[in-house]
Structure 1
Amino acid sequence: MKQARQNSSARRVAAAPSLVRVCLPLLAAGLLGNAARAQTPTQQITGPTRPQPVPLSGRAEPANPVTVLQQTTPAGTPGSVDTLNTTVTVQGPYAGSRPDGTLAPDTLPLTLDAALKMGLRNNLGRLSQDAGVQQAEGQRLAARSALLPNINIGAAEVFSKENLRTAGLKTSLVPPSVVFNYDDLRGLLQQSVLDLVSIHQFHGATEQVKSTVANARNARDLIVLAAGGTYLQLTATRARLDASNAQVEYAKSVFNRARDQYDAGLAAKLDATRAEVQLETEEQRSISLQADLDTQSLRLARIIGLPIGQKFVATDVYGFQPLTGFNLDTALERAMTHRQDLVAAAASMRAAEAGVKAARSERLPSVAIRADAGIAGVAPTQTSLGVYTVQGIVTIPVYNGGRIAGDEKQADAARTQRRAEYEDARAQVDQDVRQAFIQLNAAESQVKLAERNRVLAHESLTQSVDRFVAGVTDTVEVVQAEQAVVQADDEQITALYEHNLAKLSLARAMGAAEETLPQLLRK
């Protein structure tokens, strides 16, 4: 029995070296595997670059945020004519602003030039477009980064406990687990060598920046139209109010004469009552015009960014000056070159074309380099050695389930839409210029006729009052003459406003309104 136990022990001792010879390679393989993981970058080969979807429309804002709407107003009296009635409508961010400056205690005299400068500085439409330019430039830089080297530095300290039983080591001669600890510090480089998707996306982002910059410049023309049109409306309302106040004083003098004649028994009470009603009518008209003037002042203050609560008075008054220096052909030629919304539409179309090229390039191979270099070891100061990895990667698309075809269809739809928007923009520019000349021609003839009617109405009123004082007629004729004067004054003011507003519309239609407007609009 004792001999048998000795033989069994001898067999176990003899078997031990064989077991060690089997386990040690496996253990070494585990150690080497961890060491390899410590010195191998975690980057893996990825699929080809996907292009960013291009928005279907290239227009940055709703259509026509600032519009000039012209209507014909029927004649109010037999002696008057049909008149044009044009209004300036301002919507969206162009109706607001960032208030700027300090509140002045006195009434501020405001010229048109000062109003335009304030609007171009403070209007929310300009600020929004400037933010859009900044955003587009950021997107361009992000697209460019895919073509430039990307370098990062990474540091890691790894603690890892491995279960050796999972490697098939079930003997009691080997511990069931082992703990590893190592440090890794290296710089990582990734560089695209040939990636046509990223190249075309960068070109598209560059064109989008150009489109956004052009939209920002176009916003300045819209602000000139919004602020300038509101300013002209304000001065026209001021002129109507002054004319109405003059008519109040005239009606008051007529009423006083009618009352004196009634008191003296030279006129009927109806004449005095009629004159009194006419006076109250003129006073109410002045009250309505004052309210209209105050409302328009608030609108202009919001458009140009005056301090909240600032009182001001529009000081510039523009008379009638025939248009010189431009005809329809020269205006159209200038507009096709200087209209920034047309420039923006062209750049937006080119951005969509770059998007189509990017989508098609997904089918082509791409080449990239990835590399890292640094040190790795058990501890930062112990057994640290230099390590590096260099990878040259060629990615060839093979099958993607129709995704590339879908990207191409989306990109092609955006290109088709933006081509249509560009052609629409060209037609709109042509229409704007032609419409401005239509308004100019109509307003010019209206100014001349309205001035003759105004002179005739005032002369008729003077004669009617003289006849009433002489007792030849009653207040019916005087009241009718006063109403004709009111109508003639209003038509003359409206005609001047229409003519000057048509010049402003032409400046906007031709583009670069800041520089063009002083050539067209003169006092």
Structure 2
Amino acid sequence: MTKRNTERKLAAAVVASGLALWAQDPLRYSVPTPRPINPAESTTNPSAIATQRQNPYLGSVPEKATGATIELTLRAAIERGLRYNLGLVESNQASADVRAARLRALALLLPQISGRGRQGFENLSLREIGLRAIPGVGPLPPTTGNFAYQDARVALSQTVYDAQLRHEYRSQKEAEQASLLTAKDSRDVVVFAAGAAYMQAIASAARVETAKAQVASAAELDQQTASRVKSEVSPEIDSLRAQVERQAAGQRLADAENQLEKDKLTLGRIIGFGVDQKFALADSLSHRALAALTSASATEEALRTRADLASAEASLRSAESSLRAERAQRLPVVTFAADYGGGGSNLGNFNQLYSISGNVTVPLYTGGRIRADIEQARAELERRRAEYEDLKGRVAYDVRVAWLDVAASESSVQVAGRNKALAERALVESQDRYTNGVTNFLEVVQGREAVAIAEDNYTASLYSLDVAKIALARAMGSAETRIAELLGGK
């Protein structure tokens, strides 16, 4: 379905980088963590416009910059996305189009009242209609001569019984309900997009803080090594290595800050900030175990609350009514028409005029058109029924995949946390060994690299866990209210 394709594009275009700020192999020191999302990817290249045309959830209707720095929480980011995101705006407008179609179908069932007036000047040819003479009177003139007349009436028409129109109205009514539910589902997609983008930004902010700490540590170690070299306790190569490590830490910091700014720009695009709007991220990555919930209960909840599933069911009912409407073409149609007014040669010589008529129309032979319409409507019904059944299975699939991602990310956070603590202990021991002259500076450099990778992987694990929870909230439906429960009140 088109919404499912949109989500695939969202997951592909919305989130996939920012986690490779260092070139080391993370498998050397810790367990790699799944990276399901990165909204910052492909937003500064020429294909960004095409990407947003394909996926409007990556864009928004931006506000003007306020000039002040805004403290932005996750909840505030989601609320802004629900107001300004382009995908939701387009979804709401699509619902308005379907609502107009329903009102148009209703209008065909209601009385139609109109007024009309006419002022005529005519000269009719009597010979053209075969009137040349009247017996006993004599020949007639060629024309009637010039004459004028006026006519003013109010007309009423009403469809008394038309089964096709009635079923078409029911079909449009169900289509409107499906469109409203699709717009509701779009809100869940916006929650997913804004939440994932916010998590990417705070993950990048955490990497910036880690990089700053590494720069400070590298500077301190550089000074210590320089003093040891000056005292001829360590060889000069250790000082060179310390300087290289200090420069590398500075470069990592610059890369991390650059990535953070790009991630913030991407977040701003999704939630309606202008590119010049300054804002600070008020929340941070944190670990909180998932509330009491099972995969089975999550799946049951999703099947009950997913708006896209309810929309597919309404579309199925709409197709059923459309099929009934096509079959109803074979039934008689009863209409009523009347008008009332006056007419005469002038306003002072008006006579009362009216007409009343009832009509019954029965199709006798249509050349197979009705049968073709029925077959087409039946094919559409079967297609929507198949899509509905498929979507029920896909909802269960989405919940199961999100559940597995949460479980894997939870395990990864624990492993990454232990690896981080071990790497920090190993670095302290390496520094002590170097200070006591037991080893050279190369062991310290390797220990610092291990800490950098472990800290990056821990940040990635926390980020992956939060995004997996957001994906679970979206998979279960009603993500707007469920996300606070899964993320612990963020």
The residue type paired with residue 67 of structure 1 is A
Residue aligning to 1:27: none
Distance 1:234 1:121 in 2: 20
Question: Secondary structure of the residue that 1:87 maps to in structure 2?
Answer: coil
Query: What is the CA-CA distance between 1:505 and the residue it aligns to?
Result: 1.1
Instruction: Give yes or no for contact 1:257–1:469 (8 Å, CA) kept in 2.
Output: no
**Does residue 1:366 correspond to 2:328, yes or no?**
no
**Does residue 1:94 correspond to 2:29, yes or no?**
no
**Does residue 1:483 correspond to 2:449, yes or no?**
yes
Instruction: Give yes or no for contact 2:26–2:457 (8 Å, CA) kept in 1.
Output: no
- Among residues 91, 95, 109, which one is paired with 2:71 in the alignment? 109
Q: Deviations over 1:462-508 (max 9, x none)?
A: 11112222222112101100000001101111111111111111111
Distance 2:377 2:7 in 1: 23
Query: What is the CA-CA distance between 1:168 and the residue it aligns to?
Result: 2.8
**Does residue 1:164 correspond to 2:164, yes or no?**
no
Residue aligning to 2:385: 419
The 5 A counterparts of 1:25-44 are: none
Query: What is the CA-CA distance between 1:277 and the residue it aligns to?
Result: 1.7
Residue aligning to 1:452: 418
**Does residue 1:85 correspond to 2:32, yes or no?**
no
Residue aligning to 1:306: 273
Residue aligning to 1:497: 463
Query: What is the CA-CA distance between 1:176 and the residue it aligns to?
Result: 2.0
**Does residue 1:219 correspond to 2:170, yes or no?**
no
Question: Secondary structure of the residue that 1:320 maps to in structure 2?
Answer: coil
Q: Once structures 1 and 2 are overlaid, which stretch shifts more, 478-487 or 280-289?
A: 280-289
Query: What is the CA-CA distance between 1:252 and the residue it aligns to?
Result: 1.7
Query: What is the CA-CA distance between 1:338 and the residue it aligns to?
Result: 0.8
Distance 2:2 2:338 in 1: 40
Unpaired segments of 5 or more residues in structure 2? 40-50
Distance 2:385 2:294 in 1: 30
Q: Deviations over 1:407-445 (max 9, x none)?
A: 112212221221122122212211111011101111111
Query: What is the CA-CA distance between 1:75 and the residue it aligns to?
Result: 5.6
Q: Deviations over 1:111-153 (max 9, x none)?
A: 1111111111111112111112221111111101111111111
Distance 2:321 2:239 in 1: 80
The residue type paired with residue 376 of structure 1 is G
Between the aligned residues of both structures, percent identity stands at: 36
Larger radius of gyration: 1
Instruction: Give yes or no for contact 1:88–1:226 (8 Å, CA) kept in 2.
Output: no
Question: Secondary structure of the residue that 1:163 maps to in structure 2?
Answer: coil
Distance 1:333 1:296 in 2: 35
How many pairs are equivalent?
Answer: 465
Instruction: Give the structure-1-normalised TM-score.
Output: 0.84
Q: Deviations over 1:229-249 (max 9, x none)?
A: 110111111111111111111
Question: Secondary structure of the residue that 1:184 maps to in structure 2?
Answer: strand
Instruction: Give the structure-2-normalised TM-score.
Output: 0.90
Q: Once structures 1 and 2 are overlaid, which stretch shifts more, 452-461 or 407-416?
A: 407-416
Residue aligning to 1:271: 238
**Does residue 1:509 correspond to 2:475, yes or no?**
yes
Q: Cα RMSD (Å) of the superposition? A: 2.3
Unpaired segments of 5 or more residues in structure 1? 1-56
Change in Cα spacing, 1:266 to 1:329, as seen in structure 2 (3 Å) is same
Distance 2:162 2:203 in 1: 62
Query: What is the CA-CA distance between 1:192 and the residue it aligns to?
Result: 0.7
Query: What is the CA-CA distance between 1:204 and the residue it aligns to?
Result: 0.4
Distance 1:200 1:435 in 2: 40
**Does residue 1:321 correspond to 2:291, yes or no?**
no
Question: Secondary structure of the residue that 2:248 maps to in structure 1?
Answer: helix
Instruction: Give yes or no for contact 1:208–1:351 (8 Å, CA) kept in 2.
Output: yes
Distance 2:2 2:123 in 1: 56
Residue aligning to 1:260: 227
**Does residue 1:403 correspond to 2:369, yes or no?**
yes
The residue type paired with residue 105 of structure 2 is A
The residue type paired with residue 81 of structure 1 is V
